[in-house]
Structure 1
Amino acid sequence: MTENPTGASAPEPTGDPAAEPRFTDRRRIDPETGAVRESASAGSAAGPVDAATTGGSDAAGEPSGTEDPLAGLDFEPSAVDAELVQAQTTAAERLEDLQRLQAEYVNYRKRVDRDRTVARDQAVAGVLEALVPVLDDVDLARQHGELAGTPFAAVAEKLEATLTRFGWERFGTVGEPFDPQVHEALMHQHSDDVSEPTVSMVMQSGHRVAGRIVRAARVAVTSPDA
C-alpha cells in the first residue's frame, strides 16, 4: 500500500481500468517541485467551454452558423412544394378526365341524335310505303281533273301537307334528264328532239323521305338517235 500526496491511502488496484478510481489534481503548486501550475490552473479551472452558455457564438463573438435558418417558419417549404406539385398533377389529371368525358358525351349526343333521326326517317318511310297506293290514286285523280272542286281535294291536300312536314316529297317530271338512280324506265324510244336521255312521260311519281328513295319514279325515256 502506497501513500499519495494528499495523505489518503489509495485503494488496491483491481485490474479493471474502468473500475479503478480516478483523481483530478487541482493543486496550483506542484508538491514535488513547488512551482505554480499556471497552465494547469487556467485549463483545469476554466474547464471546457459550453456552447449553450456562450449563446452559440465563436471566439470572435459572431454566431457559430449552426442555427437552422428555417427554424422560425411555420411550414416546411420542400413539403409545400411537393404538395403543390402533387395538387397540380392531380388537377391536370382530373381536367384531362373531364375533357375526355365531355368529348365522349358530345359524341354520344351526336350518335343518339343521328340514330333518332334515322329511326324517325325509317318510321316515316314505313308509313309512306303503306300510303304509296293512296298517293298514286290522289295524283292520278288530280291529273285527270277528278279531284278539283270535290270535298276530297281538301283531305288530299292536308294529307300531303302532313307528310311534307315529315320530309316527304314527290319527284319525277317530264323533260328532266333520265337518272337511273331515281328513275325506273318502263318505256324507251328514240327522237331527234333530245340530246340526252330524257323523261318523256311520268307514269307514276316517285316518293322519297329526307333524301331516301321510297319508290323510284316510273317513267318513259326518250334517247337521241345514234
Structure 2
Amino acid sequence: MVRVHRDGDSDEAAREAAVEAAADVQPPPAGADGRAASSAAPERDGETASATVSADADGHTVAAEESALAAGAGEEQDAAAREGDAAREEGETATIARHELEQLRRERDEYLDLARRKQAEFENFRRRVARAEADAGVRAKIDLIRDLLPQVDNLERALQVAPEGDPLADGVRMILRGLLNTLEQHGVESFDPSGEPFDPTVHDALSTREVEGVEPGTVVEVVEKGYRLGERIVRPARVVVSG
C-alpha cells in the first residue's frame, strides 16, 4: 500500500513514504514478454549490424566495380597503346621494306642493263671473231688461189702456141680443165671484160691503144683474165684500154 503523506509531516516521514512506494512497485514478470524484450534488443542490434555489413558490402562492391572499371580502362589504354606501337612498327617496317624494294629494283635494273651491255659486247665480240676467222680462211684461200693462177696462165699460154693435133697439148688441156674445175668447186670464178668500160676496181690497165670505132676507156684486149672469190677480187683482169 502507498501511504499518502500529508502536509506538515516531517522529512523523515516523506523518506519513509518514498521507500514504501518503491517497495510497492512490482518488477515485470520474467515470462515471454521479458524474453521478447530481452531478445528485441539483440534483434535490433543484429539488424543494425546486418545493415552495417550490407552497407560495408555495398561499399566494397562499388569499390571493386570502380577498381575493375579502372583496371579495364587501363587495360584498354594499354591495348590501344600497344596497337598504336604495333601500327607504328608496321608503318616503319613497311617504309623500310618499300625503300629496300626500291633499292633492289634499282640494283636489278642496273644489273640487267649491265648484263644487256655485256651480252651485246659479247655478241659483237663473237661476230668479230667469227668474221675474223672467216676472213682469215678467205685470205688463206685467196693466197693459195693467187699462187695457183700463174700456173693456170702458163697452161693457157702453152695451149695457145701448141700445134694442132699435138698429143702433149691434149694432156695440158686435161690438166688445165681439172685445175679450173677445182677452183670452181671452191667458189672461184674467172671473168673476161673484153668490150666493157674500164673499171679500175676490177681491171688493171697495162697499156692504152687507139682503136677506130671504139670509145676511149673501153677494154680492147685481155692479157690475163680476172678471178673473183664471191664478192672479193682475187686478181683483177689485166687489160689494154682504148685511148
| TM interval, short-chain normalised | 0.5 to 0.7
The answer to whether 1:71 aligns with 2:86 is yes
Contact 1:182 1:217 in 2 (8 A): yes
**Residue 71 and residue 117 in structure 1: after superposition, are their counterparts in 2 closer, same or farther (change >3 A)?**
same
Match of 2:208 among 175, 188, 193: 188
Q: Identify the match of residue 154 of structure 2 among 131, 137, 147.
A: 137
Q: Is 2:116 the counterpart of 1:96?
A: no
How far did 1:142 drift?
6.2
Q: TM-score when scaled to structure 1?
A: 0.59
Tell me which residue corresponds to 1:80. Answer: 97
Q: Give the 3-state SS of the residue equivalent to 2:107 in structure 1.
A: helix
Q: Does 1:112 align with 2:129?
A: yes
Higher helix fraction (1 or 2): 2
2:138 matched residue in structure 1: 121
- TM-score, reference length from structure 2: 0.56
Report the Cα distance in structure 2 between the residues aligned to 1:52 and 1:139, rounded to whole angstroms. Answer: 122
CA offsets per residue over residues 165-217 of structure 1, 9 Å max, x none? 44422223321112233323334222331223211121211233344444332
2:69 is the alignment partner of 1:54: no
- Look up the equivalent residue of 1:127 and give its one-letter code: L
Residue 169 of structure 1: which of 189, 206, 209 is its match?
Answer: 189
Residue type at the aligned position of 2:86: A
3-state DSSP class of the match of 2:196?
coil
CA-CA distance at 1:126 after TM superposition: 1.3
**Structure 1's 181 and 64: CA in aligned 2 closer, same or farther, altered over 3 A?**
closer
Shift in alpha-carbon separation, 1:49–1:154, aligned structure 2, 3 A: farther
Of 132-141 and 65-74, the range deviating more from structure 2: 65-74
- Could you tell me which runs of 5 or more consecutive residues in structure 1 were left unpaired when the two chains were aligned: 1-44
**Runs of 5+ consecutive residues of structure 2 not aligned to the other structure:** 1-62
Q: CA deviation at 1:111?
A: 0.6
**Structure 1 CA distance, aligned partners of 2:81 and 2:73?**
14
- After superposition, give the CA deviation of every residue in 1:84-131 in whole Å (9 maximum; x if it has no partner): 223222221221121011101110111112211221121012111211
Count residues in correspondence. Answer: 175
Q: Is this contact kept in 2: 1:51–1:57, CA < 8 A?
A: no
Q: Match for residue 221 of structure 1?
A: 241
